[in-house]
Every structure is written in structure tokens, then in C-alpha cells.
Amino acid sequence: MNTNRTLAILKPDCVRRALSGSVLQQIENAGFKVCALHMVQLSRERAEGFYAVHRERPFFNDLIDFMTSGPCIPMVLEKPNAVEAFRTLIGATDPQDADEGTIRKRFASSKAENIVHGSDSPENAHIEIAYFFGDHGSIPVDIS
Ligand code: ATP
Ligand code: MG
């Protein structure tokens, strides 16, 4: 298992509010290398597949509405211990609970519209990277 990579998504609120550059700057300033990145408009089917683990949750439909409300930017990030390091950088799911200086504390407007996704384990990072960068002709580069 490669523990040096994680999957991030700049969510539709980030793109819509023209915060992509600022958020990416904070990600790069924290020492992450961007190995792959593209902008995509998710279909409902693709968003539902990505968040399938939340299918039974009460907020699932709202989450899919939000994730399909405009383009988003999935990316592969590299840094030692990437999953944990990135979760620390983005902060808690609800920006009100997030630590000072984290991306969600600085930029997110609510628990639902929280700017950025980060994988929650190396296993899920592997699955999620393949979900967006597997066989689409967009292979993460080796930048080390
Ligand atoms: P993500 O998986 O997007 O990185 P997370 O791991 O911090 O976020 P999850 O529990 O996986 O949080 O929830 C996935 C997403 O669903 C959240 O980022 C948020 O956008 C939305 N969400 C989670 N809980 C709620 C809630 N109670 N109300 C509204 N939206 C929610
Ligand atoms: Mg999650």
C-alpha cells in the first residue's frame, strides 16, 4: 500500500467561489506535490459511486446535489503519510469544529459546503485515486 498519496477534491463551492488558487496554494505550501489534477463535472451516478458509503445517510441526496452542482477538481497529492497529513491540513468536516488555520476553518461556509475532500485511509486513497485517475488516460506522474 502506497502511504505517500491521497486523493483530494476541490469541491464545487471552492470552484464557484474562485478559491481554487488560494486552496491549492495552501496545499502546496504545506509540502504536498500535485501528481495529477483535472476539472470535471460529476454526473449523479459518478458522485453516488464516489460517496456510496454514505448512501443510507439522511444527507446523501443533498450531498449528491451539491457535488453535481458545478465542476470540481479531483487531484492526487503526494507527501509522506499523505492521508493523515492532508486530513490535518483540511480540518474537521464541520468548519465550526475545525482547528484555526485549517483549510475548512479558513474557507468553508458550512458542514455541507466544506470546500475540499480528503481520503480517510490509505486503502480508500488507493480506491479513490483509481476512481478518478485509473484508466482515463490521466495517470499520476512520479514527481519525486
Ligand atoms: P469528505 O469525505 O468529503 O472528505 P469527511 O470525510 O470530513 O468529508 P464524511 O463523514 O465522509 O466527512 O462526509 C462526507 C461529506 O458529506 C462531508 O464532507 C460533507 O460535505 C457531507 N456531510 C457529512 N455530514 C453531513 C451532515 N450532517 N449534513 C450535511 N452534509 C454532511
Ligand atoms: Mg469522508
- The Å distance, Cα 50 to ligand 1 centre, comes to 12
The pTM score is: 0.94
Tell me the ligand closest to 6's alpha carbon. Answer: 1
Q: How confident is the model at residue 125 (pLDDT cuts 50, 70, 90)?
A: very high
Residues with a CB atom less than 6 Å from ligand 1: 54, 59, 63, 93, 111-112, 114, 117-118, 120
Q: How confident is the model at residue 60 (pLDDT cuts 50, 70, 90)?
A: very high
Give the C-alpha separation, 13 to 126, whole Å.
25
Confidence check: pLDDT of 133 > 70: yes
pLDDT in the model for residue 144: 62
Average pLDDT score over residue span 81-92: 98
- The Å distance, Cα 114 to ligand 1 centre, comes to 8
Give the C-alpha separation, 47 to 41, whole Å.
10
- Our answer to whether residue 54 is catalytic in this structure is no
What residues does 77 pair with on adjacent strands?
A: 6, 34
Catalytic residue among 38, 54, 117, 136: 117
Task: Report the chain's mean pLDDT, rounded to a whole number.
Answer: 94
Q: How confident is the model at residue 136 (pLDDT cuts 50, 70, 90)?
A: low
Give the C-alpha separation, 22 to 35, whole Å.
18
